[in-house]
């Protein structure tokens, strides 16, 4: 199966900002084939709750990323950053729950169709 989705870990404050602003920024560059992004919400949620289609990828500097966002999410990184403009942020019908066998700490590549069918992280 084609890996068309990157799963990233975010906290509860970051996910609210992502939903409000429809973008996710990172100091990392992801594979060009990535079409979707899914969000693993850390504790207390501890699960993959939503996903979105990536509308556009662009390199941006400090002036295009809110200072507090940058400070909170990647304080040690220097520009340029990768900004993903998102469209159609959707919740999974059921959250993909953390179990004892797997956690999301860095980017994990997956297939969206597969994500839509699983219930636990260990099924990735």
Domain coverage including residue 101 = 5-123
CATH for 70: 2.30.130.30
For the segment 66-93, what is each residue's pLDDT rounded down to a tens digit? 777 777 777 788 888 888 999 999 999 9
Could you give the number of structural domains in the chain? 1
Q: What confidence tens digit (pLDDT) does each residue in 34-54 have?
A: 999 999 999 999 999 999 999
Task: Report phi then psi at 69, rounded to 5.
Answer: -60, -50
Q: What's the whole-model pTM score?
A: 0.91
Beta-carbon contacts of residue 2 (< 8 Å; ≥ 6 apart):
33, 111
């Amino acid at each position: 199966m084609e890996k068309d989705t990157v799963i990233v870990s975010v906290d509860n404050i970051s996910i609210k900002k992502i939903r409000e602003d429809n973008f996710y920024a990172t100091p990392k560059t992801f594979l060009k084939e990535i079409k979707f992004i899914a969000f693993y919400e850390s504790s207390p949620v501890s699960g993959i709750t939503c996903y979105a289609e990536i509308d556009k990828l662009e390199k941006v500097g400090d002036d295009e990323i809110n200072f507090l966002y940058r400070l909170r999410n990647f304080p040690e990184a220097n520009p340029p950053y990768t900004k993903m403009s998102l469209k159609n942020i959707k919740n999974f019908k059921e959250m993909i729950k953390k179990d004892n066998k797997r956690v999301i700490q860095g980017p994990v590549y997956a297939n969206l169709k597969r994500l839509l069918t699983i219930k636990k992280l260990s099924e990735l």
